[in-house]
């Protein structure tokens, strides 16, 4: 009986983690990909998020602030190359954490 319960728990964790990753990727595609490009590889209007030193070194709160508050004015890191800045994104706390986890998964790719 214990093995069945343990197997059920592992399956639930696997499927919820897989669904979570799919949700984060779908959220990225709808909210971030238009500017940051497929797979976070960057475009002419926004920097790459793959192997991004800021994402690698920033706290989750710093990344959340960048996403939720955007980067305008003095907060823009690459104003000369990307003059438009980043608009704030309206995400729930769960969506923001999902996005942070997804962005961190792009590091080292």
Phi-psi region of 12 (alpha: psi -120 to 50; beta: other; left: phi over 0): alpha
Query: What's the CATH number where 60 sits?
Result: 1.10.760.10
pTM: 0.75
Q: How far apart are CA 80 and CA 28, in angstroms?
A: 25
Task: Give the residue-averaged pLDDT of 24-42.
Answer: 94
Predicted confidence (pLDDT) at residue 58 exceeds the cutoff of 60: yes
Residue 72: pLDDT band with limits 50, 70, 90: confident
Q: Which domain, by its residues, includes 67?
A: 2-105
Predicted confidence (pLDDT) at residue 43 exceeds the cutoff of 50: yes
Q: How many domains does the chain fold into?
A: 1
């Amino acid at each position: 009986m214990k093995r069945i319960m343990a197997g059920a728990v592992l399956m639930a964790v696997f499927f919820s983690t897989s669904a979570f990753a799919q949700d984060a990727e779908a959220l990225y595609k709808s909210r971030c990909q238009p500017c940051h490009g497929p797979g976070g590889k960057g475009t002419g209007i926004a920097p790459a998020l793959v192997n991004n030193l800021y994402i690698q070194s920033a706290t989750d709160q710093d990344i959340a602030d960048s996403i939720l508050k955007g980067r305008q004015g003095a907060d823009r890191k690459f104003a000369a190359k990307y003059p438009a800045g980043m608009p704030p994104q309206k995400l729930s706390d769960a969506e923001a954490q999902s996005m942070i986890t997804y962005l961190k998964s792009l590091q080292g790719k």
